[in-house]
């Protein structure tokens, strides 16, 4: 852990970008070494992501959880338009294989429920700090000024807002919902001057989406 922390501490850019890139590379490996690897690698990625968050914690000062009514409203709101806008616009690419562990390990299987739990916990508590530190703390501010750490989190730029939201949307199969999501979360950061509210909103959205996926068998959202 000390070696990882030393690596991340080399520069503000590395601290915010390297964990996201590592997480992204592990995501790209899912399903590439056999069908079951979509689930085992997701679990491994979640553990690695959690370790990365722990390593980032003392370095990325703005990455602290915060709860506010705005965060709750944004989190629930993003979940609602993520789900209910879905039938009304064309998606980005093919969407790939549907992530449903019960098709791989058997309906109602213990392993299936294990991976469902890992997915909900990972998307709720590991993904938000990694993505918010990358998109909202780094990308948005870098679009304003390469010396991004000198830019306040409350600095408004329409260009940076648009670029960051589009990049965030383009990384999701549901690209339109992703863009709206990016706008909502960046708005929280601009208003509060911290990542914590966006992290909380992001967690609420992802946890609600995970519950919806399992409850309604809407696996296309995963």
What pLDDT sits at residue 92?
78
Distance in angstroms (rounded) separating the CA atoms of residues 92 and 57: 33
pLDDT tens digits, residue range 12-30? 999 999 999 999 999 999 9
Task: Determine the pLDDT at residue 1.
Answer: 72
On whether residue 48 sits in a domain, the answer given is no
Model confidence pLDDT, tens digit, residues 33-75:
888 999 999 999 999 999 999 999 999 999 999 999 999 999 9
Total domains present in the chain? 1
Whether 22 is in a domain gets the answer no
Q: How far apart are CA 172 and CA 78, in angstroms?
A: 14
Domain limits at 157?
Answer: 64-221
- Which residues have C-beta within 8 Å of that of residue 1, sequence separation ≥ 6? 51, 54, 55
122 — pLDDT class (breaks 50, 70, 90)? very high
Distance CA 195, CA 214 (A): 29
Structure tokens, 87: 């039938």
Other Cβ atoms closer than 10 A to 15: 23
Q: What pLDDT score was predicted for residue 213?
A: 98
Q: Is residue 25 part of a domain?
A: no
Q: Which of 118, 137, 119, 132 is nearest to 200 (CA)?
A: 132
């Amino acid at each position: 852990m000390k070696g990882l922390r030393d690596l991340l501490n080399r520069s503000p850019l590395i601290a915010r970008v390297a964990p996201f890139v590592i997480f992204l590379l592990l995501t790209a490996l899912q399903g590439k070494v056999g069908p079951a690897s979509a689930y085992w690698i997701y679990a491994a990625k979640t553990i690695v992501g959690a370790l990365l968050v722990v390593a980032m914690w003392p370095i990325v000062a703005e990455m602290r959880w915060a709860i506010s009514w705005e965060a709750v409203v944004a989190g629930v709101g993003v979940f609602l338009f993520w789900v209910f806008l879905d039938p009304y616009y064309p998606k980005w690419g093919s969407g790939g294989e549907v992530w449903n562990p019960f098709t791989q390990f058997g309906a109602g299987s213990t392993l299936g429920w294990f991976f469902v739990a890992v997915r909900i916990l990972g998307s709720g508590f590991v993904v938000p700090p990694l993505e918010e530190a990358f998109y909202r703390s780094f990308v948005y501010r870098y679009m304003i000024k390469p010396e991004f750490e000198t830019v306040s989190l409350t600095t408004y730029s329409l260009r940076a807002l648009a670029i960051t939201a589009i990049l965030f949307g383009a990384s999701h199969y549901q690209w339109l919902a992703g863009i709206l999501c990016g706008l909502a979360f960046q708005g929280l950061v601009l208003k509060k001057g911290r990542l914590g509210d966006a992290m909380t909103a992001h967690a609420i959205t992802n946890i609600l989406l995970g519950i919806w996926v399992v409850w309604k068998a809407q696996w296309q959202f995963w």
